[in-house]
Amino acid sequence: MTHHAQALAHLVEHFGVKPDQMTPARVRSYDQALSRLPVAVLEPMVQRAIDTRTPRWGDLPTVAELRADAEVCRLELVKALGDYGCASCEGTKGFIAVTHADGVRMERCNCFRRRQEQLAALGLGVAPIAALTAAEGRDWASHDEG
């Protein structure tokens, strides 16, 4: 089972959704929405939905609600990495002055690059969930972008 299918199963179970309510079209909508989310946010998102969403026994939180929860979790995971910055870029936050033949330029410090790599490794990127899942309001079936 994929991570997002697992997250969906967890939600269906917790919110008491009966199997016959999960029509193939519905499953597909949720499945596609969740599959666009970074894997790292799935479990925290499920936990947050369970903790904070008003129980509507027999129904799931909407895709938009789950996406909002996922974004909160993404920001928390990013924040948990701590602030970047090091002795070399103190005062210029993530930038260092690099001397080239034609002069001095401000460039990204290595600590900033390391942070970008950490985010990439977690699949968290820098874009909000809304940008990753911009298919809202569109026909899911016609939206094939990754």
Q: Is position 86 an interface residue for Zn ion (rule: CB under 5 A)?
A: yes
**Closer to Zn ion at the Cβ: 89 or 132?**
89
Per DSSP, the residues of 88-145 read GGTTTTTEEEEEETTEEEEEE-HHHHHHHHHHHHHT--SS-HHHHTTTTTS-GGG---
Residue 10, H or E segment: helix 3-14
Q: Is 115 in the site for Zn ion (CB under 5 A)?
A: no
111 counts as binding Zn ion under rule CB under 5 A: yes
Q: How far is the CB of 57 from Zn ion (least distance, A)?
A: 51
Residues in CB range of 97: below 8 A, 6 or more apart: 104, 105, 106, 107
Site string for Zn ion, 31-70 (x = CB under 5 A): ----------------------------------------
Q: What are phi and psi of 55, to 5 degrees?
A: -65, 125
**Taking the complex as a whole, how short is the minimal distance between the CB of residue 109 and Zn ion, in angstroms?**
3
Cβ at position 82, least distance to Zn ion in Å: 13
- To the nearest whole angstrom, how small is the minimum distance from the Cβ of residue 81 to Zn ion? 14
How far apart CA 131 and CA 38 sit, in angstroms, is 12
Q: Confirm or reject binding of residue 116 to Zn ion (CB under 5 A).
A: no
89 lies in the site for Zn ion, by CB under 5 A: yes
Would you tell me which residues interact with Zn ion (CB under 5 A)? 86, 88-89, 109, 111
